[in-house]
Amino acid sequence: MTAETPRIAILGMGKMGREVDGLARERGIEVVARLDVAEIADRAGAIAALKRAQVAVDFTTPDSAVGNIDLCLDAGCPVVVGTTGWYGDLAQVCDRVEKGNGALLWAPNFSVGVAIVSALCARAGELLRGLEGYAVHLTETHHAQKKDAPSGTALLLRDALASSGREAEITSIRTGSVPGRHEVAIDGAYEQIVISHDVSNRRVFADGALRAALWLRGKKGVYTMDDVLGLDVRGLAES
């Protein structure tokens, strides 16, 4: 391996961790550590492994994500977190990262398409403000093994729509092996607007996570995919 070869660590070797691992190898990115439950439990060993990486990618579980972020912070390793379901602790985690001079990039979804849909929802919310007779509803469908509901992406889209002044209801469906589907329906008395996004292969998440990881190297602070992609969702809503 050359000195210029990116070096990453992967936390969580489930479906997404393995997807990131495979795609990283295809792209010539060196995976210096693969940390699953047992390896993460060995804190000293995990910190030593993380110190060899330029950035870590976390796809674990909602109840372990915060501890893993703290682990990376202690190791001085920037971390990209694709795990969802822990956002109740987001403000405190971001504060610790900022005060600890660390780097965190969190995203409920690493798909470029979802980032675009979020921007569209922000603009739609702005256009709906003050209009009577329209209701907003979100439906999200994921595989039966997904632990959190609503999905982090559904919450992201709900927040993007908040400028409409309406609280969008969310319906969550867990079935089969669906990688992810999100549909935003804006219903009027005589018409319906639908904005939808379907994932055909979870590799799209691995692609986005690696894009984010390479971008985060050498940075400090807290970021989202909007920063990686150069999107200003608030600016789009206010334009």
* pLDDT band (50, 70, 90) for residue 231: confident
Of the residues 51, 146, 219, 220, which is catalytic?
Answer: 146
The full set of domain ranges for the chain reads 7-110+203-230, 112-198
* pLDDT band (50, 70, 90) for residue 235: very low
Burial category of 178 from C-beta neighbours within 10 Å (exposed 0-12, middle 13-18, buried 19 and up): middle
pLDDT at 163: 77
Chain centroid, CA 24 distance in Å: 18
At 49, list the tokens: 């492994």
Q: Stretch 70-74: mean pLDDT, rounded?
A: 98
pLDDT at 233: 52
Class of domain 7-110+203-230: alpha beta
For this structure, is 146 an active site residue?
yes
pTM of the model: 0.84
CA atoms of 56 and 17, how far apart (whole Å): 11
Sign of CA dihedral 190, 113, 106, 35: positive
Contact 99, 137 (CB under 8 A): no
pLDDT above 70 for 237: no
Q: Stretch 25-49: mean pLDDT, rounded?
A: 96
Where b means 16+ CB within 10 Å and e means fewer, 78-101 reads: bbbbbbbbbbeeeeebeebbeeee
Read off φ and ψ for residue 59, nearest 5 degrees. Answer: -130, 85
Instruction: Give 197-216 as a DSSP string.
Output: EE-S-THHHHHHHHHHHHHH
pLDDT at 217: 96
* pLDDT band (50, 70, 90) for residue 107: very high
E strands in the chain: 7-11, 30-35, 55-58, 79-81, 103-106, 135-142, 169-174, 181-187, 192-198, 221-223
For this structure, is 142 an active site residue?
yes
Contact 112, 87 (CB under 8 A): no
Nearest CA among 233, 134, 118, 150 for reference residue 191:
134
User: 71 in helix, strand or coil?
Assistant: helix
* Predicted confidence (pLDDT) per residue in 181-207, tens digit: 999 999 999 999 999 999 999 899 999
CATH: 3.30.565.10, 3.30.360.10, 3.40.50.300, 3.10.20.30. Which one for 112-198?
3.30.360.10
Of the residues 142, 143, 147, 220, which is catalytic?
Answer: 142
pLDDT at 232: 65
CA atoms of 53 and 212, how far apart (whole Å): 15
Read off φ and ψ for residue 97, nearest 5 degrees. Answer: -65, -45
Chain centroid, CA 201 distance in Å: 16
* Predicted confidence (pLDDT) per residue in 147-189, tens digit: 889 998 999 999 999 877 888 999 999 999 999 999 999 999 9
CA atoms of 207 and 190, how far apart (whole Å): 40
